[in-house]
């Protein structure tokens, strides 16, 4: 008589377990796939603080565990004014999928000129995933293989370093994604920075050359024994001819042939010296 009750209890327990299994499967979090990204710069040029831009050419790559994921196809350059991309390739290497792309672009930069002409700039290229949020895709920076080619030269600047950092950007919107109910979304990012120091001596000389020439001429005039006569002053100090123009009264005396007060004082001084 007890057997049917035991069977009924087992049957009910089995139904509860079957009902709970899908719930657990849905509640289990999906593991995000991680891709490694890096870049190698072959040219950095036209660093223009007045326009707030610089240009760069570089190779960029990603290494992902699945072929279906290719961040180079879905990322965007946040501070790019314009870019050209080409020479795409995707190959299987060591059980992973390696994708490469050549990129040339003009990038906007906020230059800090407080220490000009001794300023130091961190030229930034900002990358962000544009399709898959961090629940599906995350970036890791390939710092070991990224950097500047030794032959890269930027006229007027010394390129002294490079670093790239992976992170996550938060946006206070879901962009309409119904699977994000909390009103925010998160996307993988990569920040690449090129450290550039202005070529100090050359720029400093260019900026102050005229001031130095003017100061040197002024010191030369002060060092000379300038006699308080117009003629002798002109002979001794070539820059003094611009220091004083004749007055209107002196010009009238010159035209009438009447000696000016300065000429009379000069003659009197000569007579005293002779006596």
pLDDT band at 223; cut points 50, 70, 90: low
What average pLDDT score do residues 221-250 get? 55
Dihedral pair phi/psi, residue 104, rounded to 5°:
-125, 135
Q: How far apart are CA 41 and CA 103, in angstroms?
A: 10
Please list the residues that pair with 194 across neighbouring strands: 123, 162
Q: Determine the pLDDT at residue 28.
A: 33
Q: How far apart are CA 113 and CA 190, in angstroms?
A: 26
Q: How far apart are CA 228 and CA 145, in angstroms?
A: 74
Q: Determine the pLDDT at residue 182.
A: 80
Distance of CA 223 to the CA centre of its chain: 47
Q: Where in the chain is the domain with CATH 2.70.170.10?
A: 33-199
pLDDT band at 213; cut points 50, 70, 90: confident
- Any idea which architecture 33-199 has in CATH? Distorted Sandwich (2.70)
What contacts 18, CB < 8 A, 6 or more positions away? Answer: none
Nearest to 34 by CA among 129, 105, 111, 103: 129
Distance of CA 255 to the CA centre of its chain: 66
Q: How far apart are the first and last CA of the chain?
A: 159
- Flag whether pLDDT at 53 surpasses 90: yes
Decide: 6 and 19 in contact? Cβ < 8 Å: no
Q: How far apart are CA 263 and CA 229, in angstroms?
A: 9
- Flag whether pLDDT at 202 surpasses 60: no
Decide: 32 and 134 in contact? Cβ < 8 Å: yes
Q: Determine the pLDDT at residue 11.
A: 57
Average pLDDT score, the chain: 79
- Flag whether pLDDT at 1 surpasses 50: no
Each residue of 126-184: pLDDT tens digit?
999 999 999 999 999 999 999 999 999 998 999 999 999 999 999 999 999 998 888 89
What average pLDDT score do residues 201-221 get? 61
Q: Show the tokens assigned to 231.
A: 């003629």
Q: Tokens 């996307």: give the residue.
A: 187
Q: Determine the pLDDT at residue 114.
A: 84
Each residue of 94-132: pLDDT tens digit?
999 999 999 999 999 999 888 788 888 999 999 999 999
What does R_g of the chain's alpha carbons equal in angstroms?
39
Q: How far apart are CA 21 and CA 17, in angstroms?
A: 6
Q: How far apart are CA 205 and CA 191, in angstroms?
A: 35
């Amino acid at each position: 008589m007890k057997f049917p009750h035991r069977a009924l209890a087992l049957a009910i327990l089995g139904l509860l377990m079957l009902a709970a299994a899908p719930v657990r499967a849905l509640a289990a979090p999906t593991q995000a796939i991680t891709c490694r990204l890096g870049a190698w710069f072959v040219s950095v040029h036209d660093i223009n603080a007045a326009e707030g831009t610089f240009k760069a050419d570089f190779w960029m790559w990603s290494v992902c565990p699945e072929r279906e994921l290719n961040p180079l196809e879905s990322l965007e350059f946040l501070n790019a004014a314009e870019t050209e991309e080409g020479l795409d390739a995707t190959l299987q290497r060591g059980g992973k999928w390696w994708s490469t792309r050549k990129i040339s672009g003009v990038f906007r930069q906020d230059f800090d000129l407080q220490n000009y002409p001794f300023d130091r700039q961190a030229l930034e290229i900002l990358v962000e995933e544009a399709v898959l949020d961090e629940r599906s895709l995350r970036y890791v920076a390939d710092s070991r293989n990224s950097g500047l080619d030794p032959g890269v030269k930027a006229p007027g600047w010394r390129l002294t370093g490079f670093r790239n950092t992976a992170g996550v950007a938060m946006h206070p919107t879901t962009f309409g994604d119904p699977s994000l109910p909390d009103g925010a979304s998160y996307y993988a990012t990569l920040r690449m920075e090129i450290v550039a120091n202005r070529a100090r001596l050359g720029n400093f000389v260019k900026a102050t050359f005229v001031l130095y020439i003017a100061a040197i001429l002024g010191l030369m005039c002060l060092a000379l024994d300038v006699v308080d006569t117009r003629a002798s002053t002109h002979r001794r100090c070539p820059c003094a001819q611009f220091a004083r123009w004749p007055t209107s009264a002196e010009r009238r005396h010159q035209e009438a042939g009447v000696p000016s007060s300065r000429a009379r004082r000069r003659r009197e001084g000569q007579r005293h010296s002779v006596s």
